[in-house]
Structure 1
Amino acid sequence: MNGYNEIGSTSCRHRVLIEARSPYFQLVEPGVRNVEDIEPWQGGLLKIRPGRIRCLTGSRVTDASVSVASVSVEIFVESPEGALDDCDDVIEESYQSPRGHLSVVDCRNRLVHELPALPAGPASYRLRYHLRNQAPNRVGEYLLQIWAAEVAPSAALKITSSLGNLWHSAA
């Protein structure tokens, strides 16, 4: 897996590649143990536990020639503008960061990319998760935006895919 970084004065963007057939990827904080066998995961397209964010992809790629999918993580100092037009699903959730530092790992808990420290350190953050190309045998694209913010209710900003409707049917 590989990645690249674009850094601006108020934001940074990290693009990484994951296996196209992965059902999810995660962002984890250092020292957080894997809790999936201990506690049931609840939530929707984002499943959040202290120190761990699981991003569902709902991958339905069966074409063996397709090997990677694109994941972008953008970290902002303040709330970014919402871009919903090119996405199938967009949701927002709050996340309490215990350490202020996240890494992207794949569904097998293998490190894919280490992210820089979050701008407010250990604090409350808002997550906006965009999913695109969610049709069968299409390679999905995933964007997770992160910024410091007060805790707020979950929000389904746009839901059009079958995966989004499965987890966020009331949207």
Structure 2
Amino acid sequence: MTKARTISFDLHVAYSQAYLIDLIDDAMGPGDLLDDHPTHPVGIIRVKDGIAFLVTGLHTGTVGFSATVADGDPGADTDGYEDIVEISFKSTVGRVSLLEWSPEVAHDLPDLTTGPGWYRLRYHARGMDEAREADTSAEIIDSYLLQIRPQDESQPRVVKSTSKLLAMWRSAG
């Protein structure tokens, strides 16, 4: 049986972005958009050196966000979300935080279940197209679920793709 811990919060975004960072002393969010995987693009999540760049539909405002840290695969929520992508992430310390656009605002996530090592990030998105059309909003239009579980490094993959925005990000590289 998979053990999992989920936390939910409102996440303020600007420029359609937030960052998952490995909690090392000098960690900060990236200044620029990270490159997508060259042969298996997933578009809305990109990783490099202990940082995951998460793309949202809303440009500026508040999105709904949940993060689940599990010791095994909790399963993708294919009924509850329109888009789902996966990518590998290496943690050097076994602790991560989700940063808003302003690096002073961080949401600490539960400790990773097996400490330092490789993890799989499964990023779920709902309402991206509607949020992109609205551009800015104090009301929640789009929502996200990030699942984090131990797994050896493997190729990124798209589990489910229905939004125009995910298709655009995947083709943008």
Please report the TM-score for the alignment, with normalisation by the length of structure 1.
Answer: 0.81
Indicate the residue corresponding to 1:125 in structure 2: 119
Indicate the residue corresponding to 1:64 in structure 2: none
Once the 2 structures are TM-superposed, how far is the Cα of residue 40 of structure 1 from its aligned partner? 5.9
Name which of 73, 80, 101 aligns with 1:79.
73
Indicate the residue corresponding to 1:96 in structure 2: 90
List runs of 5+ in structure 2 lacking aligned partners: 37-42, 135-139
Are 1:10 and 2:3 an aligned pair? yes
**Any residues of structure 2 matched to 1:133-152 within 5 Å, and which?**
133-134=127-128, 135=130, 136-137=133-134, 139-152=141-154
Are 1:28 and 2:21 an aligned pair? yes
Kindly indicate whether the alpha-carbon contact (under 8 Å) linking 1:16 and 1:112 is maintained by their aligned counterparts in 2. Answer: no
List runs of 5+ in structure 1 lacking aligned partners: 1-8, 62-66
Q: Higher helix share goes to which structure?
A: 2
Are 1:158 and 2:173 an aligned pair? no
| Most deviating of 146-155 and 51-60 | 51-60
Once the 2 structures are TM-superposed, how far is the Cα of residue 33 of structure 1 from its aligned partner? 3.5
Secondary structure of 2:165's partner? helix
Once the 2 structures are TM-superposed, how far is the Cα of residue 24 of structure 1 from its aligned partner? 1.2
| Aligned mates of 2:52, 2:94 — CA distance in 1 | 13
Q: What's the % identity of the aligned pairs?
A: 25
Please report the TM-score for the alignment, with normalisation by the length of structure 2.
Answer: 0.80
> Number of matched residues?
157
| Aligned mates of 1:126, 1:102 — CA distance in 2 | 13
Indicate the residue corresponding to 2:40 in structure 1: none
